[in-house]
């Protein structure tokens, strides 16, 4: 596949891919473009940080606030979870009613002896998968 970059300050910015069929590369390009166009503003103490969705492991409701959990830090978000669900890239999937997970940042799924499925993220955070969302997660991961 050839790569061509055209710098044009006048036109609308867009990425066009000509491919024979969809594959891992087109999926990755799609994910990167979607992530770049949906940057979020994260708030921590007195600082405001521009967050790239690819760096977010999961977005959870904690103590009635929405937090984006990244590698070693968490940022408060001002949007509602349902609006984030609509705007975030496809790699984000709802795992329970108060958490959106980035499939690219999942480390592994674990079955607990209490009969629940849990996800361990690469940053060490663990959250449970509700049975209602299991089907959606399977579909998102191509099962």
Partner 1 sequence: MFRADSLKQLKKGWVFSMNKYLKEFLHRGLMFGGFGPIVLGIVYAVLEGTIENFSLSGFQILVAIVSVYLLAFVQAGASVFNQIESFSVPKSLLCHLSLLYVAYVSCYLINSWIPFDINFLLIFTAIFLCIYFVVWTTVFVSLKIASKKLNARL
Q: Does 136 bind partner 1 (CB under 8 A)?
A: no
Q: How far is CA 2 from the centre of its chain?
A: 28
Confirm if 83 and 18 have CB atoms less than 8 A apart. no
Q: Does 128 bind partner 1 (CB under 8 A)?
A: yes
CA distances (Å), origin 37, targets 48, 79, 99, 132: 18, 16, 22, 30
Total residues binding partner 1 (CB under 8 A): 21
**According to CB under 8 A, which residues from 45 to 64 bind partner 1?**
63
Give the closest residue to 121 by CA, choosing from 61, 56, 42, 74. 56
Q: Does 73 bind partner 1 (CB under 8 A)?
A: no
Confirm if 105 and 123 have CB atoms less than 8 A apart. yes
Q: Does 34 bind partner 1 (CB under 8 A)?
A: no
Q: Does 108 bind partner 1 (CB under 8 A)?
A: yes
Which member of 44, 78, 80, 138 binds partner 1 (CB under 8 A)? 138
Residues lying near partner 1 in the complex (CB under 8 A): 63, 103, 106-117, 128, 134, 137-138, 141-143
């Amino acid at each position: 596949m050839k790569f061509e970059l055209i710098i044009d300050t006048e036109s609308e910015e867009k990425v066009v891919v000509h491919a024979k069929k969809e594959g891992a590369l087109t999926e990755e390009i799609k994910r990167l473009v979607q992530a770049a166009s949906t940057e979020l503003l994260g708030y921590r103490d007195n600082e405001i940080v521009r967050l790239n969705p690819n760096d977010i492991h999961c977005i959870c409701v904690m103590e009635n606030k929405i937090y984006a959990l990244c590698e070693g830090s968490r940022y408060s978000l001002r949007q509602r979870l349902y609006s984030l669900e609509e705007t975030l890239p496809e790699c984000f999937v709802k795992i329970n009613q108060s958490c959106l997970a980035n499939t690219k940042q999942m480390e592994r799924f674990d079955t607990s002896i209490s009969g629940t499925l849990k996800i361990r993220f690469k940053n060490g955070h663990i959250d449970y998968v509700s049975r209602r969302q299991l089907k959606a997660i399977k579909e998102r991961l191509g099962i």
